Homo-oligomer: A and B are copies of this chain.
Amino acid sequence: MAKKVITMGEIMLRLSTPGHQRFVQANSFDAIYGGGEANVAVSLANYGFDSYFVTKLPKHEIGQAAVNELRKYGVHTDYIARGGERVGIYFSETGASMRPSKVIYDRANSSIAEAHVEDFDFNEIFKDAKWFHISGITPAISKNGTELTRAAMKAAKANNVTVSIDLNYRKKLWTPEEAQSVMRDLMQYVDVCIGNEEDASLCLGFTPKGLDVTSGKVHIDGYKKIFEQMMEEFGFKYVVSSLRESISASDNGWSACLYDGKEFYHSKRYDVRIIDRVGGGDSFASGIITGLLDGKSSADTLEFAVAASALKHTIIGDFNHMSREEVENLVAGDASGRVQR
């Protein structure tokens, strides 16, 4: 029987301009649903887990459409509360070359941002679960979001569920001070921490010692030190980060690194021609969770995660529609792009 995994957060309606249109050119929007943890939920369902997404959505048809999109891709929606006023929205346009992609948020007062702990039966939710994943966005969306996150993490731990977090600092949602006042405390429940040096600094107030990061660029060698110190300070079992080289909006370099308390791993590096990079980080987190749940080695876990997320960049929308087999093919070295007949 498939392992039960839980993710909690916001699923938003993403209104994307078609192709590479700028906002002012758009006469229609593609209706895509996504959000940090929802994207992870879909990936985990793709990889064969019993994946449950926890959120709150309005009773109207736009709320229903979000539920339907999750169901379509095999995510269990039994724990989704219904009520509140609105589905969070974000508008997006896809950049190219030196023109960056752009996102406009319209997410305040969404149903999940105004949800209460009582909307959810966390003991039921975490019963028999193996993993709980959340991002740093959910505690940031509102006071209620912070409370929900804390309650869920506690319940997860009480049920012996492994907890991972993707730090994901969002400057539109809170200041570093606000973030740290919440996030540092939450780290006590976290087993697997995903995030780069910048996220660690902003969300956790973490400052690496014995390392000059004034240049803004952390050399891969420095990451080992940073991860060791983070593990020491917060007691994580794993510290992980993807490493994005932003060459342009069309081309990125993509690799990742992981520290498991014993060894530090730097993955293979991919040159990515980007179709849609939104959700890239979430597909990476999903890969890490999958590797660890599968009992893969640290090295194999990292390679699976980085291959999965490299592939995500070639897919339109937030969700990573890659099967486990397709990811393994890339891990095994077939990046030739030959037609599969």
| Chain B residues with CB under 8 A of A1 | none
CB pair B249 A337 closer than 8 Å: yes
Question: Interface range on chain A: under 10, 10 to 19, 20 to 34, or 35 or more?
Answer: 35 or more
Chain A, interface SS category: loop
Asked if A293 is at the interface of the complex by the 8 Å CB criterion, the answer is no
| Chain B residues with CB under 8 A of A109 | 108-109
Asked if A220 is at the interface of the complex by the 8 Å CB criterion, the answer is no
Find A339's partner among B74, B100, B330 (CB 8 Å cutoff): B100
| Chain B residues with CB under 8 A of A313 | 97
Flag A1-34 by CB within 8 Å of B: 1 or 0 each: 0000000000000010011111111111111000
CB pair B64 A24 closer than 8 Å: yes
With both chains docked as a complex, state the minimum distance between the C-beta of A35 and any C-beta of chain B, in angstroms.
13
Asked if A159 is at the interface of the complex by the 8 Å CB criterion, the answer is no
Find A28's partner among B21, B31, B64, B330 (CB 8 Å cutoff): B31
With both chains docked as a complex, state the minimum distance between the C-beta of A54 and any C-beta of chain B, in angstroms.
18
| Chain B residues with CB under 8 A of A22 | 61, 315, 321
CB pair B248 A337 closer than 8 Å: yes
CB pair A314 B98 closer than 8 Å: yes
CB pair B24 A27 closer than 8 Å: no
Q: Evaluate whether A104 and B61 lie within 8 angstroms (CB atoms) in the complex, with A20-B316, A71-B72, A248-B273 already known.
A: yes
Flag A86-123 by CB within 8 Å of B: 1 or 0 each: 11010100011111111111101100000000000000
Asked if A172 is at the interface of the complex by the 8 Å CB criterion, the answer is yes
CB pair A99 B315 closer than 8 Å: yes
CB pair A246 B336 closer than 8 Å: yes
| Chain B residues with CB under 8 A of A278 | 339
| Chain B residues with CB under 8 A of A322 | 99
Taken together as a complex, chains A and B put the C-alpha atoms of A25 and B28 apart, in Å, by 13
Nearest 6 A-B pairs (CB), nearest first? A249-B337, A23-B61, A246-B336, A72-B72, A97-B273, A98-B335
Q: Evaluate whether A73 and B68 lie within 8 angstroms (CB atoms) in the complex, with A27-B31, A97-B273, A336-B247 already known.
A: yes
Q: Give the one of A99, A251, A326 with max B CB within 10 A.
A: A99
Taken together as a complex, chains A and B put the C-alpha atoms of A65 and B22 apart, in Å, by 10
| Chain B residues with CB under 8 A of A96 | 273, 275, 314
| Chain B residues with CB under 8 A of A336 | 100, 246-248
CB pair B104 A62 closer than 8 Å: yes
User: Which single residue of chain B is at the shortest CB-CB distance from A278?
Assistant: B339
Asked if A170 is at the interface of the complex by the 8 Å CB criterion, the answer is yes
With both chains docked as a complex, state the minimum distance between the C-beta of A274 and any C-beta of chain B, in angstroms.
8
